[in-house]
């Protein structure tokens, strides 16, 4: 299937590493002109340079989406060379805290970064998509939205909010040619995940090498039908599909890419 995104411009927030970087690389490979976003200039420019070296088109946008001014600066940079047709709201963060340690300030900060930042970009970029009669908004959610853990409750709740706002936006965009959908990853083997699992594995009796630690970590943390962590490109592929013309009939949908970690039929 050729998704052919030639002529489309895509802003992927939080794309200087991890899932965002993988998504940017895949959209660029499908012909989109991608805008790499982050707060660290060197990391952002390194990803953009790698995409250009591979034959793709990439520009950069620096800014902190957690502030109104930062989000406006990112939107201005992203549209400097033309309108944005695709917005992938990927940027987000969380801290490993318990209910006892998740202070109201922690909740507020997490909500601002994970939810309101995405709203800022939607409000900056989607009106022009509506005027042109075509656009894609893809929100990166997660299984913890529907199957939360007892830890980092502030993060679980923001994922649920991300899913909810994406569906509300889909209803708002009825008949406009602009769609809003969610890709919901499971546990994906980005660099930070590998580092964490490798660090805690020996103390938990999972082994000393990655070959030993990996299957035991999966069994202990994320038991799923595929018996492994997911790969960033598996998330990027789902995003790329939702950005294509093939997905025009997808509206307010959630595509789970989690190996069967979430045990629900719906």
**Which residues are tagged catalytic?**
155
Q: Check if the beta carbon of residue 43 is closer than 8 Å to that of residue 33.
A: no
User: SS3 letters for 8-52?
Assistant: CEEEECCCCCHHHHHHHHHHHHCCCEEEEEECCHHHHHHHHHHHH
User: First CA to last CA across the chain, in angstroms?
Assistant: 27
Q: Quote the CA–CA distance of 97 and 217 in Å, as a whole number.
A: 20
Judged by phi (left if over 0) then psi (alpha if -120 to 50, else beta), residue 177 lies in left
CA torsion sign for 159, 262, 180, 74 is positive
Please tell me whether residue 92 adopts helix, strand or coil conformation. coil
Q: Quote the CA–CA distance of 220 and 71 in Å, as a whole number.
A: 39
**209 phi/psi in degrees, rounded to 5:** -105, 160
């Amino acid at each position: 299937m050729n998704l052919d995104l030639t002529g489309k411009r895509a802003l992927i927030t939080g794309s200087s590493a991890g899932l965002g970087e993988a998504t940017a690389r895949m959209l660029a490979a499908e012909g989109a002109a991608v805008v790499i976003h982050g707060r660290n200039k060197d990391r952002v420019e390194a990803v953009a340079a790698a995409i250009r070296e591979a034959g793709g088109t990439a520009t950069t946008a620096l800014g902190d989406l957690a502030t109104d001014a930062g989000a406006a600066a990112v939107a201005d940079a992203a549209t400097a060379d033309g309108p944005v047709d695709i917005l992938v709201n990927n940027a987000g963060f969380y801290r490993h805290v318990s209910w006892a340690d998740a202070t109201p300030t922690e909740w507020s900060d997490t909500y601002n970064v994970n939810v309101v930042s995405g709203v800022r970009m939607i409000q900056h970029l989607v009106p022009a998509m509506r005027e042109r009669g075509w656009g894609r908004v893809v929100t990166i959610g997660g299984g913890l939205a529907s199957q939360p853990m007892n830890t980092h409750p502030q993060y679980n709740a923001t994922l649920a909010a991300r899913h909810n706002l994406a569906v509300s936006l889909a209803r708002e965009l009825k008949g406009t040619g602009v769609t809003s959908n969610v890709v919901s990853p499971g546990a994906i083997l980005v660099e930070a995940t590998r580092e964490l699992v490798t660090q805690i594995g020996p103390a938990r009796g999972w082994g000393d090498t990655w070959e030993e630690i990996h299957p035991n970590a999966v069994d202990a943390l994320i038991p799923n039908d595929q018996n492994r962590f997911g790969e960033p490109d598996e998330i990027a592929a789902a995003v790329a599909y939702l950005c294509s013309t093939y997905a025009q009939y997808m509206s307010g949908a959630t595509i789970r890419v989690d190996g069967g970690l979430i045990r629900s039929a719906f």
